[in-house]
Structure 1
């Protein structure tokens, strides 16, 4: 089980390989799931390499999705807090791209409610996460992007 807020391990790196194939196929890549904390919420990233909706063909789109987890019965719903997603600079690590997503009373219930049907919610995220023209050489190396669910603050 990968845990985001483990002080000894830091945030796990979520590795998206075969980026160009995902881009050509216009498909969605789901990261391995991680837990927000010990016995916490189960989440994953949904990445659209060729963009989603109005960003198709111009940007990478990234969403955080809640998943059905083994500790859901003991958690408070709907999910409330802040999640930060980071695209890692693979050259020198000095220019990571970080976006912070609030989950509050303005957030659609579809992306912060407990998963009762299926295994995953609609994602909450950034349609224009990063321009495709600005991925190389810093972020896209060896046909791979590296992400982290960098920080989770629960409210």
Structure 2
């Protein structure tokens, strides 16, 4: 089991060498990268983010796409399924001059992406049109992108 980077439902992900990732993605090489695993609580859902620098699906070629993937966790058997927590993606401006680019979504309880994972990771689901390639340079500092993901923790009932 990978070590969790947080257990409070929040991930701040520092994506370094973004121009290299974008170049590889556009060239048809590595299309996506995964964030470190984080959790909603010490005994909660395990999650990670899948980032496509050059987009995926309808976002391919013009957008950065972000998706949430549920990871298999040690407490899955006692958690309520499907996963129903509200999720917010934020692209932060390290210069603090611009508002973050934000998108919030509610998981589709009918999608297998949000049911208890049977494999290491479920199919990721989220935002194919998260941020336009035109906007991205305004959010880079030293070729680094800062993404924040917040999972709403209320209510998760373990009883």
TM-score normalized with structure 1 length: 0.85
1:97 aligns with 2:101: yes
Q: Is contact 1:15-1:145 (8 Å) kept?
A: yes
**Could you say what the CA RMSD is over the residues aligned between the two structures, in angstroms?**
1.7
Partner of 1:145: 145
Distance 1:68 1:39 in 2: 12
Aligned-residue offset at 1:154: 4.6
CA shift, 1:54, in A, is: 2.2
Q: Give the distance between the partners of 1:93 and 1:121, measured in 2 at CA.
A: 36
CA 116–93 in structure 1, closer or farther in 2 if over 3 Å, else same: farther
Aligned length: 146
2:115 is equivalent to residue 113 of structure 1: yes
Secondary structure in 2 matching 1:122:
coil
Secondary structure of the equivalent of 1:70? Answer: coil
Find runs of 4+ consecutive structure 1 residues off by over 4 angstroms: none
- The correspondence for 1:44, drawn from 45, 48, 64, is 48
Given that 2:34 and 2:51 are in contact with CA atoms closer than 8 Å, whether structure 1 keeps it comes out as yes
1:5-84 aligned within 5 A: 5=9, 11-26=10-25, 27-84=31-88
Take 1:133 and 1:145, find their aligned partners in 2: how far apart are those partners?
14
Distance 2:13 2:45 in 1: 17
Q: Where is the strand percentage greater, Structure 1 or Structure 2?
A: 1
Is residue 85–residue 151 contact of structure 2 (8 Å, CA) maintained in 1?
A: no
Residue 40 of structure 1, CA deviation: 0.5
Q: CA deviation at 1:104?
A: 4.0
